[in-house]
Structure 1
Amino acid sequence: MIQIRPATPADARAITELLQEIVDAGGTTAITGQVKREDIAAQIRATPRSAWHVAEDETGELLGFQWIDPMIEEPETCAEIATFARKGRTGLGIGSALFKATQEAAKRLDYTWIRANIRADNAGGLAYYQSRGFEDYGRIDGYVMGDGTVVDKVLKRFDL
């Protein structure tokens, strides 16, 4: 059974460990390098218009997490979303359960739409957001990641 709850700074260690596994595996996120617990804890606390949720199993093991933050270009109307699930645990409904909680939070925070910014080579991420009802609306060609890797990105939007 998947349990969803709001994340707190106390979840930063588990979130950092899961995210570092995904970053180290490569190919799905634009995040590079070392993920720091202090940075995650600070990001969870960063703004009252952010919403972080964690997905856990019945033993409390972190299965995934999702957050929204105000989009820099349109902070009053749009939230930017990020979603991560533990490797080998995708396809179990984690993302669906997380998005339900995130969608409710986005409405409560008065956003009118959510933007997903996905690496074009991340087939799983593209399929996930498409299955939630996100629609393509743009691209970023030649995005340079922190480690110098160049990727294209697909921009998707979900109207609330």
Structure 2
Amino acid sequence: MIIRRAEVKDGGQMAALLNRIIAIGGTTAHEVAKSAATVRRDYIDGPDCITSVVAEEGDTILGWQAIGWWQGDAHIGSFVDPETHAKGIGAAMFAMTVDLARQAGLADIHASIRADNVPGLAYYARIGFTDASSDPGFALSDGRVVGRVNRIYQL
């Protein structure tokens, strides 16, 4: 497995992985599928993107992680192929993400995680994020209240 910076050519595979995770449900607040162009703009080379890395094996992207500006803070998003969870992909990507975040001059990284996303909460705790606040009333577009936990990682 190789961890590297995301490139424009990765947009299609990154979108396909994200859209599969959205379709499964339960581990992302994203609810609407995204096009490759949208993923490229939001997570690879758009004006709000700070860092973007992929985990690749052969020609297949197994996961990706990006930091971008959202509501004035540097927020992280992490997406790993559900069939390859708990194999160290997230931790490997985060090591490079932290290096890139420091190079970008960030002091901290924020994560907003659905409160019902048990694997996501465990992942962010495991890599050193600490609770900053919570929003127990956070709801999805269909009205389901799932809550949200906001965490921070000090660089």
**What range describes the TM-score normalised by the shorter chain of this pair?**
over 0.9
Mapped partners of 2:143, 2:51: distance in 1: 30
Deviates more, 1:95-104 or 1:64-73: 64-73
Match of 1:22 in 2: 21
Change (3 A) 1:148 1:113: same
Secondary structure class of the residue paired with 1:150: coil
Distance 1:125 1:103 in 2: 18
Mapped contact 1:12–1:40 kept (Cα < 8 A): yes
Q: Percent identity?
A: 34
Q: Does 1:140 align with 2:135?
A: yes
Q: Does 1:67 align with 2:56?
A: no
Do structure 1's residue 103 and structure 2's residue 98 form an aligned pair? yes
Cα RMSD after superposing both structures: 1.4
Q: Is the 8 A contact 2:65 2:93 kept in 1?
A: yes
* Deviation for aligned residue 1:3: 0.5
Query: Per the alignment, in what secondary structure is the counterpart of residue 144 of structure 1?
Result: coil
> What TM-score does the superposition give when structure 2 sets the normalisation length?
0.93
TM-score, normalised by the number of residues in structure 1: 0.90
- Say whether 1:11 aligns with 2:10: yes
SS, match of residue 106 in structure 1: helix
Question: Quick check: 1:40 aligned with 2:39?
Answer: yes
Cα deviation code 1:77-105 (max 9, x no counterpart)? xx200001001101111001100010001
Q: Single out whichever of 113-122 and 37-46 deviates more from structure 2.
A: 37-46
Moved more, 5-14 or 146-155: 146-155
Question: Any unmatched runs of 5+ in structure 2?
Answer: none
